[in-house]
Structure 1
Amino acid sequence: MVFKRLLGSLGVGGPAVDTVLEPGAAVPGGTLSGQVHLTGGGADFTIEHIALELVARVEAEHDGGESEGTVAFERFIVGGNFRLAEGERRSIPFSVTLPWETPITELYGQGLGIALGVRTELGVAGAKDKGDLDPVAVRPLPAQEAVLEALGQLGFGFRSADLELGHIRGTGQQLPFYQEIELTPAPRYAHQVTEIEVTFLAGPAGLDVVLEADKRGGMSSEGHDALTCFTVGHQGVEHVDWNAEVDGWIRRLVESRTPHAAHAPHPHGGHGDGHYGEDHGHGHDRRSGPGMGTAVAAGAAGLAVGVVGGMVAAEVVDEVGDFFEGDDEGDEGDEG
């Protein structure tokens, strides 16, 4: 994971930046480590700061439809206030902590089509120059992985994943966007719902698992969305029967008769209780659909989420490559 770029704001002869991330995927709330390699230009320069910026490609829904933009959601100063001599080579090691709500980009090495990256900024002589984006790989936390694997074993299939600008009311969401993982229903629920959406909102003590079902209409009722949330701790993940646990969540969700599911107590006291009520909803309309071209060609049977549940290789049709190759600091679609 490398990028090199001359400091364009200073013209030919400016310092060159080469940022290298440690190999392997990080986890939400974990560390992202690497080194920023600098090569001095045709003169001495004072490096005022070196900043790393986490950015993501995010969808926004509005009255005119949908649009996409780049959101910077965390920034770290990893060095600066030194003189870089002409032609000098210097390496700045860094280790920064990712936000707990950082979206996951892969599951068991399988990409989910999420465009997430780090961009290095140099502050030199009062000017700021942002380098090209370098992709960041993030794997799920153990509890997130357990929930997704259980869904796969229960027969749910992966459809797409995207990032939505906005907040989910009634939660402690910190980032300006949230991740939706959209699943095709297991056969036993296919007559009741068309899609299940999963959102993880992690924190130091555990994570909220927000579930939304697009329910089918009946003879005397129209289709609607049902929503509920459960809290899961980070500890003791290996002692839970996740298939039974998650199946119970899904049953409560699809059997609810209100647009937003009623209070759903968690059966394991050590993991906390569900805390969503009918008065809680989304900060904006969460319409479904594969965003950013992240739909997965999975075949007629669908793509199971968990490896044990039957995850198979599939081509992820997305725009992640274009995001890292074509995005720059002048992107008019930036959202923050």
Structure 2
Amino acid sequence: MVFKKMLGAFGVGGPSVDTVLSNPNTRPGLTLGGQVNLVGGSHDVQIDQITVGLVTRVEMQGAGEEYDAFVEFHRVGVAGGLLLREGQHLSLPFQLVMPWETPVTSLYGQQLHGMTMGLRTEVAIRGAVDKGDLDPVYVHPLPVQERILEAFGRLGFQFKGADLERGHIYGLHQSLPFYQEIEYFAGPQYAQGVNEVELTFVTNEHGVDVVLEFDKRGGLFSGGHDSYGRYQVAHADADRVDWTAQVDGWVRQALDQYRSLHAGHGYGQPTPGYGTPGGYPPPPPPPGYGQPTYGAPGYGHPGGHYKEEYHHERRGSGMGGVAAGLVGGAALGFAGGMIAEEVFDSFGDDEEGGDEG
């Protein structure tokens, strides 16, 4: 999809911009390439700077209310100090490396419900800045992320929705000011212990920290509590691990740990023997990248703040959050959803008048 836009900030007869991506489909850590095409207007103009930046929608909290803001989280310069003559055509190539923590927006060829991302082109002339183009970008999961998402579907978890939350996760290094939550309704075999699961990937060049937040409102935990688990996996292990068994182990491990805390010692007290001989041992992590984290401050303990966010009631987006683009998508927990172009059209309209972070 290509958008050609006159640069209205520079008056009648000003230049126009047309940004073309070589391929709008990408993954974290890969390069997004394209070119910015400029056409001169009715008079010569001196261009101070041309930049492209990634823009997405982030859920914010302020003044006692929630709102969505459009945040530009990564940008690169394309060119500067150019004289664009009357009627002249210029094509300026660029390469933008996607941050490793870039959230996933697409799966099975379709847009994740709740996720939008675009590449915005800005042109600065004589101190005036025009946003120019806004083109959709589709971020697909890395292989190990995709295997984990598939495992949740095979275990009966049903996709609810995805969003970006402003804040940081306790104990993890983050380069971006937000993190993604991919939300599921619990599979039938876990439904008595957990209502929903929120999955977060914090990725770097070596692997992925997988963060799970289990929502238990009443029942197993008196009054209802959220509990957490964090696990490290390597990119190289994408095709070496039985991910269905691994994810099942993560979920059951968290449920068993907190069931023991509640039944035997009270919520928030350590369980003697957990993870040691004589206690319930956690499953071994995938080889080659770190160790799973259990019971660290902030991980399931009331004294620590696991996610530096404002906790709130989720605006549920329903069971059918994703339009599955491949046969079998529904069986993996993804069914129904929104058409990608419609999502982006709404995003682009809002962006023109929305708040920016």
> Normalising by the residue count of structure 1, what TM-score does the alignment of the two structures yield?
0.89
The 1:306–1:164 alpha-carbon spacing in structure 2 relative to 1, beyond 3 Å, is farther
Unaligned runs of 5+ in 1: none
Q: Which whole-Å CA distance do the structure 1 matches of 2:26 and 2:249 have between them?
A: 30
Q: What is the match of residue 213 of structure 1? A: 214
The 1:247–1:167 alpha-carbon spacing in structure 2 relative to 1, beyond 3 Å, is same
Determine if the alignment matches structure 1 residue 194 to structure 2 residue 195. Answer: yes
Q: How far off its partner does 1:321 sit?
A: 3.0
How well do the aligned residues superpose, as a CA RMSD in angstroms?
2.7
Q: What is the match of residue 312 of structure 2? A: 287
Q: How far off its partner does 1:63 sit?
A: 5.9
Determine if the alignment matches structure 1 residue 315 to structure 2 residue 337. Answer: yes
Q: What is the match of residue 140 of structure 2? A: 139
What letter matches 1:193 in structure 2? Answer: V
Q: Which whole-Å CA distance do the structure 2 matches of 1:199 and 1:20 have between them?
A: 31
The 1:101–1:285 alpha-carbon spacing in structure 2 relative to 1, beyond 3 Å, is same
Q: Is the 8 A contact 2:51 2:121 kept in 1?
A: yes
Q: How far off its partner does 1:28 sit?
A: 0.7
What letter matches 1:268 in structure 2? Answer: P
Q: Is the 8 A contact 1:56 1:72 kept in 2?
A: yes
Q: How does 1:1-336 map to 2 (within 5 A)?
A: 1-62=1-62, 64-113=64-113, 114-218=115-219, 221-257=222-258, 266-275=284-293, 277-280=295-298, 281-290=306-315, 294-297=317-320, 307=329, 309-310=331-332, 313-316=335-338, 320-328=344-352, 331=354, 333-335=355-357
Q: Is the 8 A contact 1:212 1:227 kept in 2?
A: yes
What letter matches 2:208 in structure 1? Answer: L
The 1:22–1:266 alpha-carbon spacing in structure 2 relative to 1, beyond 3 Å, is farther
Q: Is the 8 A contact 2:210 2:233 kept in 1?
A: yes
Q: Which whole-Å CA distance do the structure 2 matches of 1:215 and 1:165 have between them?
A: 23
How many pairs were matched up? 327
Q: How far off its partner does 1:266 sit?
A: 4.6
Q: How far off its partner does 1:311 sit?
A: 5.1
Q: Which whole-Å CA distance do the structure 2 matches of 1:260 and 1:79 have between them?
A: 55
Q: Which whole-Å CA distance do the structure 1 matches of 2:194 and 2:222 have between them?
A: 14
Q: How far off its partner does 1:132 sit?
A: 4.3
Q: How far off its partner does 1:69 sit?
A: 0.7
SS of residue paired to 1:227: strand
Q: How far off its partner does 1:23 sit?
A: 2.9
Q: Is the 8 A contact 1:152 1:305 kept in 2?
A: no
Q: Which whole-Å CA distance do the structure 2 matches of 1:320 and 1:275 have between them?
A: 38
SS of residue paired to 1:123: strand
SS of residue paired to 1:204: coil
Q: Which whole-Å CA distance do the structure 1 matches of 2:22 and 2:251 have between them?
A: 38
Q: Which whole-Å CA distance do the structure 2 matches of 1:298 and 1:319 have between them?
A: 12
Q: Which whole-Å CA distance do the structure 2 matches of 1:261 and 1:314 have between them?
A: 42
Q: How far off its partner does 1:101 sit?
A: 0.7
Tell me the percent identity: 46
What letter matches 1:290 in structure 2? Answer: R
Q: Which whole-Å CA distance do the structure 2 matches of 1:136 and 1:298 have between them?
A: 19
Q: Which whole-Å CA distance do the structure 2 matches of 1:288 and 1:139 have between them?
A: 28
Q: Which whole-Å CA distance do the structure 2 matches of 1:78 and 1:266 have between them?
A: 47
Q: How far off its partner does 1:137 sit?
A: 0.4
Unaligned runs of 5+ in 2: 262-266, 276-281, 299-305
Q: Is the 8 A contact 1:160 1:295 kept in 2?
A: yes
> Normalising by the residue count of structure 2, what TM-score does the alignment of the two structures yield?
0.84
What letter matches 2:99 in structure 1? Answer: P
Report the structure number with the largest CA radius of gyration. 2
Q: How far off its partner does 1:237 sit?
A: 1.4
SS of residue paired to 1:12: coil
Q: Which whole-Å CA distance do the structure 2 matches of 1:261 and 1:232 have between them?
A: 28
